[in-house]
Structure 1
């Protein structure tokens, strides 16, 4: 029966791998198969219709935590794009490549913007900077993919929040273990970065390499500390933001000093400050959490409307728009842009989370893992990062990757006697990082540089980045197996 229960996941994988089916269609097919098979696996009392309604409510509630951030993030992005257009299209003549700027753009600037808004916005912002450094289009996209290396905290950690809910963990737990796994991952990414820079004719010397390692060690340490003492959603935003400020003072390299760049950075600084204050001032945090929070059942986390990060994003976006005195026509344009770019990820997020919720609650995930462990024993954990990576690559979304695979991974942890925190963290980080080479991101990058039709070349040149990441994940899984 386990093979039958795996059919919805395999159907989604096959549909997306074919390249002929869109994300929403694949998700819908997966959900339909899940609903059809769930009665066979379910052992609980009560009628199936009642069970299905309950899980639909719980799944939709979990999805809403993500959807709220998606919509608020799109509003924030579209407002920022109109108040600081120079940030999104730096323009100007091409300059000589500066290695220090290249490092800062790839490891700090891109991940910062991805953390603030998500959904590939980091890639959209950094590619103009990379082109202006003198890189050709394809090379700029490959380096631009580094903007996606902290996707567990992208869009204010929306996918990680969903993953935590499905794994039955607190957001701080999944954030902290994801941070532990990200530390060695950053070093692997750096090794490939040096190789790519060398191929582009800008190999760094020994002193510069030591400098790079120090900065990445600081980034890894900052992410761990923020997840430990502040909040999951602030992980990359605060870490990258603080290091960007220090880097700016040292190098004066990221379009420094102009009033225009200061104005462009103001909304992001305000958002960073708002997250920091609401997550570190105890009385303020308590007051906001207790204001209007609600959960439809005891099995799902409450939605705290005035503490949830979507409220902070919305607040800063509206303040930015008010300061710019947007007209009704501008608001209408923004609304259309949000509808156009948001409806697909919102619908896919809802469907995938529903699929994951029903898979877990019906017992299908547990049955799949029971069969896998029966076949290969505890060594099944070595398949964990491969499953996660495949989901991230095919869906291009860490929300979808966690929604599909997290129930299976947590069942693996339970049945193999492995710590669920590490297994869930591995799923979260591997699934998130493999969105970097998803067809969605590759196609977006090619379109941004006017190189449609060269997606295959971009994918091949980006494979060393993915290979280094997979090696780290497999070593982490092996360490779990041997521990």
Structure 2
């Protein structure tokens, strides 16, 4: 028992130690993956059928993520080369007069970022928002940090498949888990808002604090109401949409009419409209028609990101060297994809071989105190896989069973794991690699000060959620 626990824990320890000693995340991930494969060979030894099933189930997902990263980097590169980012940022700057850009910044961080994440998933809210924050005048590192902190509704990302998997593996109703996850989300909203204000504002005045409180109340209120009345999938879309509408209304009331929407501005937002409309329309079409599973790729965010990148070039009305755009995107994509995929494969190996479940089951021997560690376990899964779907697949079954055996409410336990695991994605190497790839110069790393803000935010949220687990579960 102890031997298996140490073997299962070893890949995580290797990764954390190497990252703490400033080893590049790619090599830390490779070392962790090698440790996991060695542990698989000497201790866990999955059957051939398990290996084949894992490759068949997760292989397409790994490929989709690689293509998604390519599309995301391609879209960001095309938007920058055509000047579309500059035009959108200029319009946003004109919505507020004076030096205080709090409304615009909150609109992007807590409106646009979670909205795009809920529609597309895979961290694409950061792909859209981080470059715009740079265009608004933020230093690139702060733009990356703020956009990552804006990923507050990840349980509903991509219309909620991660929450669906957690419900299925945990034996709970999706609607009930969505509502319970929404009830716990204020922890993440408050922690993230405090960090964002500290990074972007410093010492907020009374007006800025009132705006921040209003954003939290609206986002959470609409999220909870939508989960109760409409259902889980669309809740993450409606809540940030309400925030954006509310902040634009505040701008309209305080500064007069919004700036004119010109034809060049419309062309600049067309790629984003294509991305959102394409995903929603294809998803709806596949849902109402009897089509073969192999056509599911039509609704893939990866496909529509690549389409949006092409549209960004062709619809811009600006002469662009397409070969230069392609070369620039590929230079950013190769290291980004390598970084992301090695951690994804590490998470897959740990889930498929039973390492992750063994860690959760062993932790349950702590007794009822285990309940307080559930958010931390979920956060570990989110960190390793860079995906709330991956975190749900790693731990949901073991979490639900362990909670039930201890006399705790499995629904509350799953919700705590779901919310904490989803928020911890902002610290995962795949998400940070994506954010830096579309914002920082090639090869540049996020400063240690920014990483500390991210890690502290995740830890605070996990600790507070752990306390909530003891009270509620």
CA distance in 1, matches of 2:332, 2:245: 30
In the alignment, which residue of structure 1 is the partner of 2:83?
86
Query: CA offset at residue 425 of structure 1?
Result: 2.7
The Cα RMSD (Å) is: 4.5
| Structure 2 unaligned residues grouped into runs of 5+ | none
SS in 2 for 1:216: helix
The alignment status of 1:178 with 2:181, answered yes or no, reads: yes
Query: CA offset at residue 304 of structure 1?
Result: 4.3
Query: CA offset at residue 383 of structure 1?
Result: 1.3
Query: CA offset at residue 222 of structure 1?
Result: 3.2
In the alignment, which residue of structure 2 is the partner of 1:269?
273
Query: CA offset at residue 418 of structure 1?
Result: 3.5
User: Is contact 1:430–1:473 with CA below 8 Å preserved after alignment?
Assistant: yes
In the alignment, which residue of structure 1 is the partner of 2:110?
107
SS in 2 for 1:22: helix
The alignment status of 1:219 with 2:222, answered yes or no, reads: no
In the alignment, which residue of structure 1 is the partner of 2:57?
61
User: Is contact 2:114–2:236 with CA below 8 Å preserved after alignment?
Assistant: yes
Query: CA offset at residue 4 of structure 1?
Result: 1.4
CA distance in 2, matches of 1:2, 1:412: 18
Write the mapping of 1:443-462 to structure 2, written as runs, cut at 5 A.
448=439, 455-462=447-454
User: Is contact 2:180–2:411 with CA below 8 Å preserved after alignment?
Assistant: yes
SS in 2 for 1:148: coil
The alignment status of 1:204 with 2:208, answered yes or no, reads: no
In the alignment, which residue of structure 2 is the partner of 1:389?
379
Task: Give the total of aligned pairs.
Answer: 451
Query: CA offset at residue 386 of structure 1?
Result: 1.9
The alignment status of 1:475 with 2:472, answered yes or no, reads: no
| Structure 1 unaligned residues grouped into runs of 5+ | 40-47, 295-302
In the alignment, which residue of structure 2 is the partner of 1:300?
none
Query: CA offset at residue 380 of structure 1?
Result: 0.8
In the alignment, which residue of structure 2 is the partner of 1:34?
40
Structure 2 CA distance for partners of 1:444 and 1:467, relative to 1, 3 Å: same
Give the TM-score normalised by structure 2: 0.74
CA distance in 2, matches of 1:306, 1:173: 30
Query: CA offset at residue 134 of structure 1?
Result: 4.9
Structure 2 CA distance for partners of 1:143 and 1:75, relative to 1, 3 Å: closer
CA distance in 2, matches of 1:178, 1:65: 25
Structure 2 CA distance for partners of 1:345 and 1:462, relative to 1, 3 Å: closer
Query: CA offset at residue 184 of structure 1?
Result: 3.8
Instruction: Choose which of 417, 420, 423 in structure 2 pairs with 1:427.
Output: 417
Structure 2 CA distance for partners of 1:322 and 1:89, relative to 1, 3 Å: closer
Query: CA offset at residue 382 of structure 1?
Result: 0.9
Structure 2 CA distance for partners of 1:310 and 1:170, relative to 1, 3 Å: farther
CA distance in 2, matches of 1:332, 1:457: 33
User: Is contact 2:155–2:163 with CA below 8 Å preserved after alignment?
Assistant: yes
CA distance in 1, matches of 2:119, 2:387: 16
Q: CA-to-partner distance for each residue in 1:408-455, whole Å, 9 max, x for gaps?
A: 434423432434333233222212212324466667767845796772
CA distance in 1, matches of 2:347, 2:401: 18
